[in-house]
Amino acid sequence: MLCLKVPTDAAWADEALTNVDALLVDHAHCEMKAAANALSLAARDQGDIETAVVLADLAREEIDHFQRVLAELSARAAALGPPPVDAYAADLRRAPHDLPHDPKIGPKVDRFLVAALIEARSCERFKLLARACAARDVYAALGSFWEELFAAEAGHYRSFVELAVRAAGGDREAVAARLDRLADREAAIVEGLGRRAHGRRRTTIHG
Ligand SMILES: [Fe+2]
Ligand SMILES: [Fe+2]
């Protein structure tokens, strides 16, 4: 799906749905962090108004997602609670440092591509959750919500890739090559997390 090199393993969605409250707490934090990250990227890029406009729109959508997950938590009388550890995002943010230097790829391009990969993986997992809800005939409203988010996060993935191309001065080929390398690292991180979760139920979006 999108640029991802490995699919999420088949057990993940069923494991995640064993504790919907925990999953929604993590989901809420993911949306909040996505909004904050978009605004933080806009703040770094004071010279490029077009990029700031795209990021502000994206942040607005993430805030909308955050509010809708909060409404779901509220309806379930569940608390937001602290953010679960997101080893996936932390490892992925470090991944560009391990890649060879490319003069065409600055830190800004890497930050956009890391954000694109996080969107792509979230997108894949929302689709898996929507499918699992439909297959088990449970949580119909949540399933529809996740189906809708699947499309929204796919759009965010494309926006971040385009922002990376813009930040690389239009060098689409260099950006595609960098994304390919980062996608290799992302795949290794996902497989590593899957192996380490052996025997433990994963109830986070990136777990
Ligand atoms: Fe979102
Ligand atoms: Fe997103």
Q: Which residues contact 52 (CB under 8 A, 6 or more apart)?
A: 42, 45, 46
Tell me how far the alpha carbon of residue 152 lies from the centroid of ligand 2, in angstroms: 7
List, for residues 74-109, the tens digit of each pLDDT value: 999 999 999 999 999 999 999 999 999 999 999 999
pLDDT of residue 117: 98
Tell me how far the alpha carbon of residue 195 lies from the centroid of ligand 2, in angstroms: 26
| Residues having C-beta closer than 5 Å to ion ligand 1 | 31, 62, 65
| DSSP H helices in the chain | 12-16, 20-44, 49-75, 87-94, 107-136, 140-167, 172-196
Tell me how far the alpha carbon of residue 36 lies from the centroid of ligand 1, in angstroms: 11
DSSP, residue by residue, 137-154? T--HHHHHHHHHHHHHHH
Q: How much of the chain is helix, strand and coil, in % rounded to 5? A: 75, 0, 25
Distances (CA, A) of 106 to 33, 49, 54, 103, 116: 23, 19, 19, 7, 16
Tell me how far the alpha carbon of residue 175 lies from the centroid of ligand 1, in angstroms: 23
Amino acid at 125: R
Tell me how far the alpha carbon of residue 43 lies from the centroid of ligand 1, in angstroms: 20
Given a cut of 80, whether residue 63 has pLDDT beyond it is yes
Q: What single DSSP character describes residue 186? A: H
Residue 198 confidence class, pLDDT cut points 50, 70, 90 = confident
Q: What are phi and psi of 110, to 5 degrees?
A: -60, -40
**Dist CA 158 CA 154 (whole Å):** 6
Q: Which residues contact 40 (CB under 8 A, 6 or more apart)?
A: none
Q: What single DSSP character describes residue 173? A: H
List, for residues 169-182, the tens digit of each pLDDT value: 999 999 999 999 99
Given a cut of 80, whether residue 199 has pLDDT beyond it is no
Tell me how far the alpha carbon of residue 151 lies from the centroid of ligand 1, in angstroms: 10
Residue 86, classed as helix, strand or coil, is coil
Tell me how far the alpha carbon of residue 120 lies from the centroid of ligand 2, in angstroms: 9
